[in-house]
Amino acid sequence: MNHIIKGLRAEYLKTHQTSIYWLLLLCPLALNILVVLLLNEVGQKWIKGETNPWKVLYFFNYNLLAEFFIVLFIAMMTSLINQVEHKGHSWKHLYALAQPRWAVYVNKSLYSVGMLFFVLFYFALMQMISGLVLSFLRPDFGFQSRDLAIIFNFTIMLKMFLAALAIWSIHHWITFRYRNFSLSIGIGLLMLIFITLTINSREWIDYIPYAYVKQVLEVKREAVPAIFTQEVWLSLGVGFVIWLGGLWDARRRDIL
C-alpha cells in the first residue's frame, strides 16, 4: 500500500503542469463548447414537445464521446503518461529503485485510470454548465423548467467509464511497453475506422472491446439505465485480463 501511495504522488509530480493536464482540461471543454454551439443553432430539431432538453444534451455529448473522442483521448492520455518515462529514459531508474517490480505498473495504472475517471466526471459536470449556458442562449428549449436528470447523466458517465476500461487496458499496456508515441494513436484510429465499418454486424460486437462504449448509449431515455449491463461486464472482464497481461509483462521484462 505504501508503494502505491508513494507511486501515485510521484506520478502526480511528474505530470503536473504538462501537456497531459491541458489535454484533460481542454478536451471535455472543447467537446462541450461544440455541443453548445450545435444545439444553439439547430437544437430545435431534437428538442421538441415533451423531450427533456437535458437528456438531449447529455446524449449529444456522450454520443460524440463514444463515436470518436474517447478512443483517441485514451490513446493520447496513456501515451502522454508513459511517454514521460520513455523520454526521460527513466524505466531503468524506476526498476532499479527499492520497490517491487509490480509497483511500477500498478502505480502507472492507478494514476492513468484515475485520470480517465476524473476527466469523465469533469465532462459530466461540464455538461450541466453547458445546459445552464443554453438556458440563457435558448430559453425556448426549456432547460430552466425541466428536471436536470443528474442521476441519468452520472449513470451514463459511470457506464461509459467502466465500458472504456477494456480500451484503456490495451492502450496502457502498449504505451507502457513501446516508446513510439504514434503507435497507440495509430491503433486507436484504426480501431475507430474498424468499428465504424462493423458496428452494424451485431454478431461480432461482443468481441470488439472498442465497441463497448458505443453500446452504453443503447438505452431508453425515459429511465435511469442499469449500470452493470452486458457491455460493462465484458469491458471489466476483458480489461482485467489484458491488465493482468500487462502486469505479468511488466514484472518479467528485462530493462535493456
Task: Provide the residue type at 149 as one letter.
Answer: A
Q: Which of these segments, 8-16, 44-52, 115-123, 214-222, binds other proteins (CB under 8 A)? A: 8-16
Q: Which of these segments, 61-69, 94-102, 139-147, 241-249, binds other proteins (CB under 8 A)? A: 94-102
Burial of 82: CB neighbours in 10 Å, binned 0-12, 13-18, 19+: buried
Tell me if residue 88 falls in helix, strand or coil. coil
Tell me if residue 199 falls in helix, strand or coil. coil
Is 177 a residue that touches other proteins (CB under 8 A)? no
Among 46, 59, 95, 154, binds other proteins (CB under 8 A): 95
Nearer to other proteins, 45 or 89 (CB): 89
Q: Which of these segments, 4-12, 152-160, 172-180, 215-223, binds other proteins (CB under 8 A)? A: 4-12
141 phi, psi to nearest 5 deg? -75, -25
Is 255 a residue that touches other proteins (CB under 8 A)? yes
Nearer to other proteins, 19 or 40 (CB): 19
Spatial distance between the Cα atoms of 251 and 183, rounded to a whole number of angstroms: 22
Task: Provide the residue type at 32 as one letter.
Answer: N
Is 86 a residue that touches other proteins (CB under 8 A)? no
Among 1, 193, 223, 256, binds other proteins (CB under 8 A): 256
Is 189 a residue that touches other proteins (CB under 8 A)? no
Is 88 a residue that touches other proteins (CB under 8 A)? yes
242 phi, psi to nearest 5 deg? -65, -40
Q: How far is the CB of 198 from other proteins (least distance, A)?
A: 39
Query: How big is the site for other proteins, counted in residues (CB under 8 A)?
Result: 27
Q: How many CB atoms lie within 10 A of CB 26?
A: 11
Is 230 a residue that touches other proteins (CB under 8 A)? no
User: Within positions 97 to 126, which residues make up the interface with other proteins, using CB under 8 A?
Assistant: 97-100
**Residue 88's closest CA among 8, 13, 9, 21?**
13
How open is the CA angle 208-243-217, to the nearest 5 degrees?
40
**Alpha carbon of residue 224 to chain centroid:** 21
User: Which positions lie near other proteins, rule CB under 8 A?
Assistant: 2, 6-7, 9-10, 13-14, 18, 84, 87-100, 252, 254-256
